């Protein structure tokens, strides 16, 4: 859909979830330069997808894989493989048949009493095979893959999207993958849609036998193994909270809730805590934004592709979302020829 906003031509992508009709990205016939702004999982995956589609790419970012700043991408996100509910919900009806991803994971199995994986106080559960990853290693892997394709990198914090073209003057466009950083780079109406979702987790020693997630009355608890790097305990989900400090009382609550989920890691009844951390998930009212607008910058018509707002789903949606963004960019560039 194409509309006019503030004098700029805008093309919206209605859904960031990839589908077969949107995943066919053809190779570019000429080596056009595109800038990716941001080096979180969305930015790095978008850069790699652009490179694999035949574009020349420069990543401009303030933070890179290995940085532990709270404004950088969450390095703690993984996927559980056992899901437990303490109380009935619409999802638990009909043996979990209403769970939308029930047919997408291997060995999806409802758990009812008595079952060794289901705590006595739980109402219902499911088990399934999934995967886990070490996010820091995965981000480094994406950057390494991009380097193999000739990506250029530039460490810099920009004050505006137009400033990007001062550093890469030949670029035909920029992909804005700045997460919450987009608040300072977009107009006030769009900025008002962006907000942090605060999360707090604890890294403990040892790898849990499996990842487990439990939903209780007003809380969520999970243990997620990080391959080669311990296990994450969580958590919390607080919209609109910018607080970057660890809440010690919350940490105690998280530890107690997780003891029943990973008893194999307890030493004399306690976890061996390595670190506590707080993260801000980049959330957006209405969900992720994938949208292209055209603007005159330094006498040239260039595109700006906005690609942010994935909240806590950045890792799991990064590949499909990047394909959607690149396919949209490619269609827009073809229209300009």
Please state the domain extents for the chain. 2-72+134-193+285-336, 82-132+195-282
Query: Which segments are annotated as binding site for FAD?
Result: 73-74, 158, 178
Binding-site annotation, residues: 73-74, 158, 178, 222, 281, 312
User: What residues form the annotated binding site for D-dopa?
Assistant: 222, 281, 312
Same fold, 2-72+134-193+285-336 and 82-132+195-282: no
* Length of the chain in terms of residues written: 337
Element (H, E) at 202: strand 194-204
What residues pair up with 8 in beta bridges, in sequence order?
5
- The pLDDT assigned to 89 comes to 75
DSSP-based three-state secondary structure for 88 = coil
Note the CATH number of domain 82-132+195-282.
3.30.9.10
Residue 23 scores a pLDDT above 70: no
Which tokens is 318 given? 């990064």
Torsion of CA 71, 75, 81, 82, to 10 degrees: -60
Q: Which fold has domain 2-72+134-193+285-336?
A: Rossmann fold (3.40.50)
* Window from 13-17, 83-87, 255-259 with minimum mean pLDDT: 13-17
**pTM score:** 0.84
Q: What is the CA radius of gyration of the chain?
A: 21
Q: pLDDT band for 37, please (50, 70, 90 cuts).
A: very high
């Amino acid at each position: 859909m194409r509309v006019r906003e503030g004098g700029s031509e805008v093309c919206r992508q209605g859904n960031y979830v990839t589908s077969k009709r949107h995943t066919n990205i053809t190779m570019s016939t000429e080596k056009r330069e595109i800038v990716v702004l941001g080096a979180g999982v969305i930015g790095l995956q978008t850069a790699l997808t652009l490179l694999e589609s035949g574009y020349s790419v420069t990543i401009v970012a303030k933070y890179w894989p290995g940085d532990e700043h709270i404004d950088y991408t969450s390095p703690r996100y993984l996927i559980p493989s056992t899901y437990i509910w303490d109380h009935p919900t619409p999802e638990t009806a009909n043996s979990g048949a209403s769970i939308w991803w029930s047919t997408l994971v291997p060995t999806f199995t409802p758990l009812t009493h008595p079952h060794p994986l289901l705590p006595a106080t739980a109402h219902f559960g499911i088990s399934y095979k999934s995967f886990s990853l070490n996010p820091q290693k995965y981000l480094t892997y994406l950057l390494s893959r991009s380097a193999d394709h000739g990506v250029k990198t530039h460490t810099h914090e920009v004050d505006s999207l137009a400033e990007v073209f001062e550093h890469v003057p030949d670029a035909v466009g920029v992909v804005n993958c700045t997460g919450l950083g987009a608040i300072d780079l977009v107009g006030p109406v769009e900025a008002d849609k962006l907000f942090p979702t605060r999360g707090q987790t604890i890294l403990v020693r040892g790898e849990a036998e499996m990842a487990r997630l439990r939903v209780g009355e007003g809380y969520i608890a999970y243990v997620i193994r990080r391959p080669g790097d311990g296990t994450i305990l969580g958590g919390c989900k607080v919209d609109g909270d910018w607080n970057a400090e660890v809440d010690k009382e919350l940490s105690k609550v998280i530890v107690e809730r997780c003891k029943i989920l990973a008893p194999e890691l307890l030493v004399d009844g306690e976890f061996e805590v390595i670190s506590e951390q707080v993260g801000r998930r980049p959330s957006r009212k209405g969900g992720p934004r994938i949208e292209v607008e055209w603007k005159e910058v330094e006498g040239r018509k260039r595109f700006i592709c906005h690609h942010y707002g994935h909240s806590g789903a950045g890792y799991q949606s990064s590949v499909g979302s990047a394909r959607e963004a690149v396919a949209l960019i490619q269609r827009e560039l073809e229209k300009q020829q």
